[in-house]
C-alpha cells in the first residue's frame, strides 16, 4: 500500500482524468490514418497505435496505484511526529548545518523548488524512512553511500 497526502492523491486523480480524456483523440488519429490505405507501411497509423498502447499502460499503472493508495489524514498524526506532509527541520550532528525537508509520498518532479528552502523527500527514500515516525528532539541515522549521517530533529510542522 502506498501512502499519499490528500494533495498527491488529487494530483494523481487529475492525471488519470487527463489521460482518459486523450483516448478519443488518439482513437480518431488511428481511424484517420487507417483511411489512408495500406496499414503495413502507414507510419502515422503505427505511431498512433503505439501512442495509444503507451497511454493505456500509464492509465493501468495509475489506476493500480490509486487502488492501492491510502490517504493520510493529518489530524491522525500526533504533534511533533514526522509523517507524510510534515516539514522537518534537522541539524546534522557532525557539521551543525540545518536543513529543511518535506516528507512526501510521491515526488512531484521538482524535488527542490528554487523559490523554497524546503527539499521534498520521498517517504520510500533512505532519508524518508529514517525520518518517518520520528519525533522532535530525536536523533535519526541515515545510511548514505559515503557512510552515515546523524540528524537531530529540531522542528516538525
Give this prediction's pTM: 0.65
Where are the chain's structural domains?
Answer: 2-71, 74-156
What topology does CATH give the domain 2-71? Answer: Helix Hairpins (1.10.287)
Q: CA-to-CA distance for 2 and 61, rounded, in angstroms? A: 13
Q: pLDDT of 64-111, one tens digit each? A: 989 988 887 777 777 888 988 889 999 999 999 999 999 988 655 544
Cα end-to-end distance, the chain, whole Å: 25
Residue with cell 499502460: 57
Cell triple for 55: 497511454
DSSP string, 59-109: HHHHHHHHHTEEE--GGGSPTTB--TT-EEEEEETTT--EEEEEEESS--S
- Which range is most confident: 23-32, 39-48, 101-110? 23-32
What topology does CATH give the domain 74-156? Answer: Chitinase A; domain 3 (3.10.50)
pLDDT value for 116: 67
β-bridge pairing 139-144 and 147-156: antiparallel
Tell which wins on pLDDT, 39 or 107: 39
Amino acid at each position: 500500500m502506498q501512502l499519499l497526502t490528500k494533495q498527491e492523491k488529487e494530483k494523481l486523480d487529475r492525471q488519470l482524468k487527463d489521460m482518459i480524456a486523450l483516448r478519443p483523440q488518439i482513437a480518431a488519429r488511428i481511424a484517420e490514418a487507417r483511411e489512408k490505405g495500406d496499414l503495413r507501411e502507414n507510419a502515422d497509423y503505427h505511431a498512433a497505435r503505439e501512442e495509444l498502447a503507451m497511454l493505456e499502460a500509464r492509465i493501468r499503472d495509475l489506476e493500480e496505484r490509486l487502488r492501492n493508495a491510502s490517504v493520510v489524514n493529518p489530524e491522525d498524526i500526533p504533534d511533533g511526529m514526522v509523517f507524510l506532509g510534515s516539514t522537518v527541520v534537522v541539524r546534522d550532528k557532525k557539521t551543525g548545518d540545518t536543513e529543511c525537508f518535506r516528507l512526501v509520498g510521491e515526488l512531484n518532479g521538482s524535488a527542490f523548488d528554487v523559490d523554497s528552502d524546503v527539499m521534498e523527500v520521498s517517504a520510500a527514500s533512505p532519508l524518508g524512512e529514517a525520518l518517518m515516525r520520528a519525533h522532535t528532539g530525536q536523533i535519526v541515522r541515515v545510511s548514505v553511500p559515503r557512510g552515515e549521517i546523524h540528524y537531530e530533529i529540531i522542528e516538525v510542522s
